Amino acid sequence: MNHLPKPQPEALAHSICVSERIAERLILARGWLSFAEYMQLALYEPGFGYYSAGASKFGGAGDFVTAPEISPLFAEVVAGQIDVVLRAIGLGDLLELGPGTGAFAAGAIDVFNRCGTPIERYRMLEVSADLRERQTERLERVGQERPLREWCDRLPETFSGVIFGNEILDALPCERFVTRDGQYWRLGVGLAVESSSSEPRFEWRVRPADGSAPGDDEFRQEAAHLQQSLRLQGIELPNDYCGEWQAGLDGWFESMATSLKAGVMLLADYGLPRVQLYHPERTRGSLRCYYRHHAHDDPFLWPGLNDITAWVDFTRVAEAAERAGLRVQGFTTQMAFLAGGGIEQAMSRALETANSVSPGMTTAEQAQLASGLRRLLMPGGMGESVKFVMLGRGDEIDLPSFALRDLRHTL
């Protein structure tokens, strides 16, 4: 980890508080926590976790950059497709899950005003008080009155319209497993014993899901389902294979589907269909941590200061959504979604609009717009690693974004 920049003393002090909080839970749990519980505490523990405390996470000064931060063209195209859905269903709201800095919302509100989109409210589900404040400030700068903006900390009981989320599923706490002689064992967290410092340190602890720890039954069911469905495809994971899955996806989609009375969910996340994600050669899984734009694979380093993510099994997403009564109406790569939704035309329009008034766009600004476009579409990068999935009930809505490359058969 020598390549990582060292945190400031106050950030390190905060991380020690997070570690102590996790250590307390570990002691209460008799020395072993599932990785999902650890991730929940490290990312979301109120007042302490990475997303719940005040650190700057997004953008150049943060730890990672998401698509809405990379280029305004992302919101321009995605909001254009949301406009198509809202027109198809008549009138509805938009509910954005985890809106980050509000970059997507700012761009989308602009599109809705320009297009006269039939939308009443732009709702944002945000549990972090600190991020809400950032979103409010960002949206105040947009200045438009409509649609009405509302924040909530839980799903509305009933909702009609579009539920949109960028990089939400890959931020949900995940279970980790390792294979031992054909069995899936739980890869959880324990306190490191040889620690020379006074602050708690954590390490991986493997144990069979034998029913003696909370969540063992769910883990066994999930593991059996994964193993069986891989076997149907002729895949047997080798010994010592490590992988992850997002915990509690069935419940998550059940609550989304209960709320969604009409309309669709549109989700964009890093991930793959199951047979590609659990390819026997991907032996170390997809768990990644981000600190100041450096990716690493040690989630026990500076808890509370790192983002932690794992790629999404989109086949599991489709299963969970279908169990909850939703159908997969579209599945494709980010590159195909944005290209099908007209990102090149959006780029030309942005240049034309900016250059129609004096002094126009500088060469540096034009180069920045072009570089953002390339990053969004990059085949070896997020253009292909990020997938868009649309889930809905009722009649299928044809979106140009999904027409270019329909990948539903790969799920």
Ligand X SMILES: C[S@@+](CC[C@H](N)C(=O)[O-])C[C@H]1O[C@@H](n2cnc3c(N)ncnc32)[C@H](O)[C@@H]1O
Q: Among residues 97, 237, 264, 350, which is the contact residue for ligand X, using CB under 6 A?
A: 97
List b or e across 71-96, with b for residues whose CB sees 16 or more CB atoms inside 10 angstroms.
bbbbbbbbbbbbbbbbbebeebbbbb
| Interaction between residue 172 and ligand X (CB under 6 A) | yes
| Shortest distance, position 355 Cβ to ligand X, whole Å | 29
In the complex with ligand X, the residue whose CB is nearer, 7 or 59, is 59
Q: What's the min distance (Å) between Cβ of 216 and ligand X?
A: 23
Q: Which helix (H) or strand (E) holds 343?
A: helix 343-355
The answer to whether the beta carbons of residues 389 and 267 sit under 8 Å apart is yes
266 interacts with ligand X by CB under 6 A: no
When asked if residue 98 is in the footprint of ligand X (CB under 6 A), the reply is yes
Strand-pairing partners, residue 184, are 179
The residue (of 172 and 326) whose beta carbon lies closer to ligand X is: 172
DSSP 56: -
Residue 58 or 177 with smaller CB distance to ligand X: 58
Can you list the alpha helix ranges (DSSP code H) found in 90-215?
A: 103-115, 129-142
Candidates 65-73, 109-117, 222-230, 332-340; binding stretch for ligand X (CB under 6 A): 65-73
Of the candidates 4, 5, 1, 24, which has an alpha carbon nearest to the alpha carbon of residue 202? 24
Region near ligand X per CB under 6 A, out of 146-154, 168-176, 343-351, 360-368:
168-176
Contact positions with ligand X (CB under 6 A) in 125-164: 125, 128
Per-residue DSSP letter, 283: T
> Between residues 125 and 272, which has the closer beta carbon with respect to ligand X?
125
How many residues bind to ligand X according to rule CB under 6 A?
Answer: 16
For residues 149 and 122, the answer to whether their CB atoms sit within 8 Å is yes
168 counts as binding ligand X under rule CB under 6 A? yes
Q: Which amino acid is at 42?
A: A
Q: Which two tokens stand for residue 312?
A: 């999404």
Work out how close the CB of 255 gets to ligand X at its nearest, in angstroms, rounded to a whole number. 9
Does the footprint of ligand X cover residue 167 (CB under 6 A)?
Answer: yes
- Tell me if 339 sits within 8 A of 79, measured CB to CB: no
Q: Cα 169 from chain centroid?
A: 4
CA distance 27 to 328: 43
Q: Determine, following the binding rule CB under 6 A, whether residue 68 of this chain makes contact with ligand X.
A: yes
Q: Which of 15, 117, 160, 166 binds ligand X (CB under 6 A)?
A: 166
Q: Which is nearer to ligand X, 95 or 411 (CB)?
A: 95
Ranges within 5-64 binding ligand X (CB under 6 A): 51, 58
Place of tokens 């200061």: 305
Residue ranges binding ligand X (CB under 6 A): 51, 58, 66, 68-69, 97-100, 125, 128, 166-168, 171-172
